[in-house]
Structure 1
Amino acid sequence: MLLNIHPDNPNARHIKTIIECLKDGGVIIYPTDTVYGLGCDITQHKAIERIARIKQVDLKKAHFSFICYDLSHLSDYAKSVDTPVFRMLKKALPGPYTFILPASRMVPRLLKTKKDTVGIRVPDNNICRTIVKELDNPLMSTTLPVEHYVEEYTDPEIIYEKFGKQVDIVVDGGPGGIAFSTVVDCTGEEPVLIREGLGSFDAIT
């Protein structure tokens, strides 16, 4: 299903359709403030395994991140962070950043990496934040199963043509981007830039 949603005023009925799909173990493709993402409810194990199959990755080696509505979920899924790190997160989010933090016990075992970390995202995108808020759970998120993001993957209709059969809903929230989030590792003494993306590392450190 290709579901058109207004970026500024998401239709409540459409959001409800998406939430029901996610709670039922569905997999969606949806807009963020960077590229279109592939996601599911983090509590739905079969959906997580399905995404790993779509991506053709081993769950233990996969780099999935959690899409949160705001930082209120932080203490649920990440171990307590010190004040400078929290300040940096507050400055950067919502925005095009992924922060790698030590995972708490609430992170589903399926999603724990060998290093016991979790990637946290709060995109500056009204549609995906509304979905997460209404779901009342973070979304597990990853990139589309493509080698390279090119211009055509900014168009939800082309995304639907290519991947519509593999997922339950493609959320059309208008054109997406082709730049990724900036990844910052906050598990050591100092924040370390892992990948330079859309967000400026210098602006938040």
Structure 2
Amino acid sequence: MLITINADNPQPRLIQQVLDILEEGGVIIYPTDTVYGIGCDITNKNAVERVARLRGLDPSKAMFSFICQDISQVTEYSKTINNDVFRVMKHNLPGPFTFILNSNNKTPKILKNRKETIGVRIIDNNIVDALVRGLGRPILTASLKSDDDITEYFTDPQDIYAKFGKQVDAVIDGGPGGSVPSTVIICTGNEPELLREGAGVLQ
């Protein structure tokens, strides 16, 4: 199913249509403020495993991130965030960053890795914001990579639908996607540390 949603003013009826899919354990492809992503409700183990299979990953080893609606929701799934990290997150989010934090016991077991860390994002995208707020829970996010030798990520939702339309429950067309992934910042120590340089530049 291809659902075209206005990126500036997401139509509530269409947002609810996608929310119903997520509530039923569906897997969706959606735009972000960087590249297109594939995901689901993080509390649905079967859906998370399905995303892993679609990405060709072992669910027990996959390093998935998830999207929260705000920093308050981030703190529900992470251990105490120190003041320096909190200031950096508050100053740069929403935006094209993934922050690696120490996870707590509320984080679904399937999303915990051996280091017991999680990757969290707060995305500057009206469609995703409406979905996360409407669901009331974070949404899993994994970058939708292309097997093209030239283009690493899919940018055209029509191309995405042609390739993945029969493998997922919905593809959201929110306009052209980016081609540069998020900047990844490790925040498990005393000070934030750059792991991967991407679309975001820390302020």
Which residue does the alignment assign to 2:42? 42
User: Partner of 1:195 in structure 2?
Assistant: 196
Whether contact under 8 Å (1:54, 1:145) holds in the other structure is no
| Higher helix residue share | 1
SS at match of 2:104: coil
The aligned counterpart of 1:103 is: 103
Equivalent pair of 2:180/2:198 in contact (CA under 8 Å): yes
Distance 1:93 1:152, change over 3 A: closer
Structure-2 change in CA distance of 1:47 and 1:109 (3 Å): same
C-alpha deviation, 1:152, in angstroms: 7.6
For 1:24-173, list aligned pairs within 5 A: 24-147=24-147, 150=151, 153-173=154-174
- Structure 2 unaligned blocks of 5 or more: none
How much has 1:66 moved relative to structure 2? 1.1
Report the identity percentage: 51
Q: Which amino acid aligns with 2:156?
A: D
- The CA deviation at 1:55 is 0.8
Q: How many residues align?
A: 202
| Secondary structure in structure 1 of the residue aligned to 2:76 | helix
RMSD, aligned α-carbons: 1.4
C-alpha distance in structure 2 between counterparts of 1:188 and 1:63, whole Å: 19
Residue identity matched to 2:166: K
The residue identity in structure 1 corresponding to 2:38 is L
Aligned with 2:154: secondary structure? helix
Aligned-pair CA distance for 1:37: 0.1
- Going from structure 1 to structure 2, the CA distance change for 1:137 and 1:152 (only over 3 Å counts) comes to closer
State how far apart, in whole Å, the 1-side matches of 2:191 and 2:161 are. 41
Helix, strand or coil: the match of 1:18?
helix
* Structure 1 unpaired stretches of 5+: none
Q: Judging changes above 3 Å, is the alpha-carbon distance between structure 1 residues 178 and 152 closer, same or farther for their aligned structure 2 residues?
A: closer
2:84–2:191 CA contact under 8 A, matched in 1 = no
Moved more, 69-78 or 96-105: 69-78
Is the 2:146–2:152 contact (alpha carbons within 8 Å) kept by the matching residues of 1?
Answer: no
Q: Distance in 1 between matches of 2:104 and 2:61?
A: 18
CA contact (8 A) 1:152 1:158 kept: no
Letter of the aligned partner of 1:113 in structure 2?
A: N
